[in-house]
Amino acid sequence: MDLDLPADIRLATPEPPPPPPVQDRRARVEEIEDEDAPGATRWYEDFPRDAGCILEQRDPVETAFEAMRRKQAAAGQEPWFPFASEDDWNLARWLSKSGVSGGNIDEFLKLNKIKDGAHPSYHNSRAFFQKIDGLPGGPEWECEVFDAIGDEVDEDGNPRKEEIELWKRNPVECIKELMGNAAFREKMRYAPQRVYRDAEGNRREYGEMWTTDWWWNLQERLDKGVTIAPIILGSDKTHLSRFSGDKQAWPVYLSVGNLSKETRRTPSERGTVLLGYIPVTKLDCFSEDTRSLAGYQLFHRCMRTLLAPLIDAGKEGVDMVCADGKMRRVFPVLAAYVADYPEQCLVACCQENRCPVCKVAPKKRGMPVLSALREPGETLKLMRKQAKGWKPEGFKKQGLRPVDPFWKDLPHCNIFQCFTPDILHQLHNGVLDHIVKWSTASLDPSYSEEDAESEIDFRFRSIPNHPSLRHFRLGISLVSQWTGTEHKHMEKIFLGVLNGAADPQVIRAVRGILDFIEYAHFELHTDDSLARLEESWFLFHNNKDVFIDKGVRQNFDIPKIHAMKHYVDMIRSVGTADGYNTELSERLHIDCAKLGYAASNKRNYIQQMTRWLMRREAVHRFASYLQWAIPGYLVAVGDGGSPEQPAEEGGDLSGDESDHNDQPVAASPNPTTPKFTIAKKAPFPRVSVVTLEGEYGAMDFLHHLETFLDSRSILPRRFHDISATFAVYKGVVIKIPPSTRVSTKTTDDRIRAVRAVPARGLKKAVPQHFDTVLAYKEPPRTPATNRSLEGMFAGRVRAIFALPVEYGLLPTPLAYVEWYTPLTQLDPDLGMYKIAPATQSHRRRASIIPITQICRSCHLIPRFSRKIDRTLTTDNALEKCKSFYINCYLRHIDFVLFKSVK
């Protein structure tokens, strides 16, 4: 018979609430600029009841920064206190973040130049650390010690024990720290809302957590006026020792969905904090048969201890001072859990051959089938029956583990709906690995397995280079261990590499995966783009049987392929995948684990790591306070960057990087025309026409210049003088405006036009680099938005130059461009435009245009055939090949442009 569940468990799967009253969705309108159209409109629907309300207070509420400044002012202290001056503080800040050990700090402070010149207010490391420890810090660390009693016995016949240390912080205090940080004032939201792209509410927009379904639905179930703090947890085990030893740490991170995604995913903003370290132990006191299960239970026991304060806080609420200085009743509720697949299964208490989200049968994971979602109430009931020895059928059928889950008492929490997309491990390092192996094995039957790998390697080596692409000069078969960054660069060109060698059905299957990855990267989704995401998933499934037909696979029962099915629902529930990227955890491991371990003496290192972290947080907090307290005070408050900063290959291969770091020489009067940056002085001030035509390949240069000048009604005095010289630049940087789908920042797009430089002495030869671009042949009649392919042509920039004074003054430099055929032929399998060099009377079509008509760079992939010219290289591919495909996977901004996503 069924067991009656306590009320707190029944709350985990509530009855669906009644529909809210109809509200006027057009109450608030915002004019925006995005990829849809200039002057597009967003429609906001606020939550129909009061939410995120401010509590009435008799006394004024102070933020932590306001209280700190008031105390300093009352004591007559400067904001720098306890430091003697700004210079004294800046030295301390540098010493604290530079990784200098205590002994080296002592040595540094004893230098006469420092002791007698700088006169710091601390004379040794002990006094220095006392200053740092005296700064206001964050939540305190505590250690809970308990024994793990195993099933092995010692020599006396007693059960063996292992002492476990759990280092933790109070999650409610961590949430207070985040919610009350005055630096987050403009980056924090307290109530849900819905955003639409049309007045009828048919095109919903999903981005930040407050625009999604989870927050809106929970707000309907709670009392009027309360504030929800959606908790985002993340955990990931990491190695601490690099070359020897097996030291590991298991950090647990915490953030809140009230903060913007950009703030949460930027380590230097400190929008994600370290909550604790789950102990990493071998559990030798258990036998081999029970050790694995004991490890699962240890994880859940530690997590239950870590999150225990959230039970009452989630039920009753906690009064918190928020970033805007207002008091609110906050209900912290677990909303999202960021983890890789094995850890998702660990949290969900299921075996690793099952889906942690739904009940799909293992043999049906490779099919696009609908499966019932897991439910906490049902899962807990099965676990209790299993614990009593009843062995319910559903327990084995759902692949559950007999553990006591940490999430069973958390209010309003459905743990199975908390899991988020994991682009790094599921897509880049998961599905892509499979599809590359299958595609390589599915090449034309005339290729042997060895020949297929050799063919793929050759094609990778001969792909034309681009500053945003890594060049695989040895191919990909010899890469033994792939990183996420290498996978991203490889997937940008992999589909183009397959053209001409793989079956069309293979091409379509690969395109489905690559399109899915690109859509999954969107930082802002609408119902339209989510439909495209789902279409790409179906495109793969509709064509994947080709791998079975070719004997490469027998089935597709792979967890990471099945996980793609849940992406659309996850995005609608908690927001776009960029807000939950596991790359952030990988990046935080450096700040929150590896650096602290390196600074320790490797004994009781977790304790030393927590002290080191407290000091780092105190320094960061004080720097933020000074920025708040002192107008005009600017300092880098963090030493972390974005979670992902891949080093791009290419760069300025001419050897002169300063050319692209100067101020723009001109700003376009049309604000929608792409802006650019170019050197103030051309590195080659006097280049002859003969050199331009011979070494740069700008054939019939004077003829095209005459045509351009005639179109501008400019009459030069020395036009027919072939000895005329021109100032030539090495390149230009086009400023591509943000696309709200994939970026909030301007993209610096480097375009090179550099002739070959022969070897001289010890200096190696430098190959030529004439990049391809998308540009307008004529100035567009309507303002150029750079959001549509209409009117754009592909071309190759042969030279970037300025006219001599006698030719007349122009506001911008000019570019000599060789054109390709129009963008009219779209390959139905590759989904890429086919182009070829445009010719007239057996000569390349070319013209001279202002660089303001260049919209962005593009990347061309040769149209390969079965018999490839084996002399083809990355340096000569653009000259030798007769036709090309335009790569739509070069960057996320290019994918949005070529796919015309609305």
CA distances (Å), 635 to each of 28, 86, 259, 624, in order? 37, 11, 22, 9
- Cα–Cα dist 322/227, whole Å: 11
| 303 neighbors 383 (Cβ within 8 angstroms) | no
* Contact (Cβ atoms closer than 8 angstroms) between residue 232 and residue 583: no
Which tens digit of pLDDT belongs to each residue from 465-504? 999 999 898 888 877 778 888 889 999 999 999 998 899 9
Closest CA to 649 of 488, 523, 830: 488
pTM of the model: 0.89
Among 486, 866, 504, 773, which Cα is nearest to 647's?
A: 486
For residue 207, what are the contacts with CB-CB under 8 A and spacing of at least 6? 195, 261, 523, 524, 525, 575, 576
Predicted local confidence at residue 194, as pLDDT: 95
Rg (CA), the chain: 31
Number of H helices, E strands in the chain: 29, 31
| pLDDT for position 1 | 32
- Given this model, what pLDDT does residue 810 score? 77
3 state SS of 659: helix
- Quick check: 231 and 179 in contact, CB under 8 A? no
Please state whether beta strands 846-850 and 814-819 pair in parallel, antiparallel, or not at all (unpaired): antiparallel
pLDDT value of residue 804: 83
What number of residues does the chain have? 902
Closest CA to 275 of 136, 410, 170: 170
Instruction: Give the up-direction half-sphere exposure of residue 76: CA atoms within 13 A in the CB hemisphere.
Output: 0
Residues of the chain with pLDDT under 70: 1-40, 58-60, 98-100, 243-245, 634-674, 714-722, 781-786, 808-809, 901-902
Distance CA 266, CA 248 (A): 24
